[in-house]
Amino acid sequence: MTDLPPYLRPFVLPVADTGEVRVERVGQVDLYHPAGTARTGAILLVHGGPMPPDLEVLPRDWPVFQGYATAAAQRGLVAAVVDHGLIRGYDQLVAAADDVEAAVGVLRADPRVDPGRVALWFFSGGGLLAGEWLDSRPDWLRCLLLTYPLLATPPGVDVLVDATEVIGKHKDLAVLLTRVGREREELAGPVEEFVSAGGTALDIIDVPKGQHGFDMLDHTEESRAAVTKALDWAIAHLGEDPTATSTSTLPIPTPTTEPAPRKTAPESRKPPRATTSAGATTSAGATTSAGVTTSAGATTSARATTAEGGRSSGAAGSSTPTSTPVPSVAPDLTAVVATAFSFDTPATRVIDREHSTYAAHDLEAFLALYSPTAQLQFADGAVLRGRRSLREYYRPLFDAGRCKTELQQRMMLGEWVVEQAVRHDTDQGPLPTIVLYRVQDGLIVEVRFLA
């Protein structure tokens, strides 16, 4: 173990893989789902940085964060780990803040998450990203945790929001600091200033013999007790029972679809309220309740479900799509309809989150589910490429609060998801449409509007 770099050493808690925790990768975020089907609170784990440029293993694959996330999921929470830009350098602080904001959107849009019960947990250099959340304190943020944090930017690095200046601003926000006794000098001073400023607004777990990174370097009873106490604290503040080992199997309630309130700073960072979309799976040659027969001889379910999701090809925007051929090949629709698939697939879960963020009018969380090089082709042949073009095109539609569609059918083939829906987000009134989504590695890489 001593031959391994510190970040690849085992987590201090014995987290056995029992097969009950399901891990899903969505873009830059890994989601850890507990057993059961109940909606639950959630924790986003935010790593530190920077790290050397030759780093081969990114933080979400480090044993320590896999361990924290697995332990939280085994206790009944949904946990998430995000890879963010700070790993590349302090000049990426703003980009890192955007990455964390987008990850919050992905987490809160997850159908297993109660979007009103979320905790943020910052480690080491990730502490530089905590200030804006202490300052703005969105209503869904139940608590915030800091473990051996860096709280003062190095010389020459621009400050986002200084956590020491805003700790205690919101008296109803619970904050936990895990402080190590053998902390590096350049980190220990700002931490003590933070403690002095926090007063009664701050809970503290002390690890007297612990060093920076104790949760992977110091395999002691003291370390294990500190990590366990922090997990207990987070679970308690998320409204869960700290002694619970699993969640119940209650149905997931119908989510709220009203727009999420804007955060005060920085601009355009506003995580969404979650909502789910539903649709019909196909069954080749099978007859279902609706009795809608396809051209391939298959019969599909046409159960209409109201959902706030989808997009408008006729929305006004500041960026006009250009008519450019799309090189990739769309799937044969006959083959799509004629093949039977499970409704719950990695691709459909990504599309469900996209619909949820659309319904919540949360542009940045919506865009976080798209590949940076994603392309959209509209029925008239016009094409949008990349998140920047998508942002410019969709911002007026999101700002106008017109993000609503009615999902009628859904069909799947591998990485493609095909939906029939009625759009209510155009000036033309209810508009039937067919949309093809292509999902790769947890992100949407291509969308085609056929009608």
Q: Which residues pair with 385 in a beta bridge?
A: 375
Residue 344 in tokens: 């719950």
The reported pLDDT for the residue numbered 240 is: 52
Q: Are 53 and 131 in contact (CB under 8 A)?
A: no
- What whole-number distance in Å separates Cα of residue 99 and Cα of residue 8? 23
H-type alpha helices, 137-184: 163-166
The reported pLDDT for the residue numbered 2 is: 62
The reported pLDDT for the residue numbered 343 is: 63
The reported pLDDT for the residue numbered 333 is: 44
Model pTM score: 0.62
CA trace torsion 135, 141, 143, 147 (10° rounding) = -70
Q: Are 282 and 411 in contact (CB under 8 A)?
A: yes
> Residues with Cβ < 8 Å from 39, sequence gap 6 or more?
111, 112, 113, 114, 250, 252, 253
- What whole-number distance in Å separates Cα of residue 141 and Cα of residue 320? 37
> Residues with Cβ < 8 Å from 377, sequence gap 6 or more?
326, 383, 446, 447, 448, 449
The reported pLDDT for the residue numbered 193 is: 96
Tens place of pLDDT per residue across the chain (451 aa): 568 899 999 999 998 877 789 999 998 999 999 988 889 999 999 999 999 998 989 999 999 999 999 999 999 999 999 999 999 999 999 889 889 988 998 899 898 999 999 999 999 999 999 999 999 898 899 999 999 999 999 888 888 899 999 999 998 999 999 999 999 999 999 999 999 999 888 999 999 999 999 999 999 999 999 999 999 999 999 985 444 443 322 222 233 333 333 333 333 333 333 333 333 333 333 333 333 333 333 333 333 333 344 454 444 344 444 444 444 445 544 444 333 334 678 888 889 888 888 888 888 888 888 887 788 998 888 888 877 788 888 888 888 887 777 888 898 888 899 999 887 766 676 888 899 999 987 889 899 998 7
Residue 181 in tokens: 């006794």
Q: How many CA atoms lie within 13 A of 226 on its CB side?
A: 31
Q: Are 26 and 442 in contact (CB under 8 A)?
A: yes
H-type alpha helices, 26-116: 63-74, 93-109
> Residues with Cβ < 8 Å from 11, sequence gap 6 or more?
63, 64, 66, 67, 68, 71, 215, 216
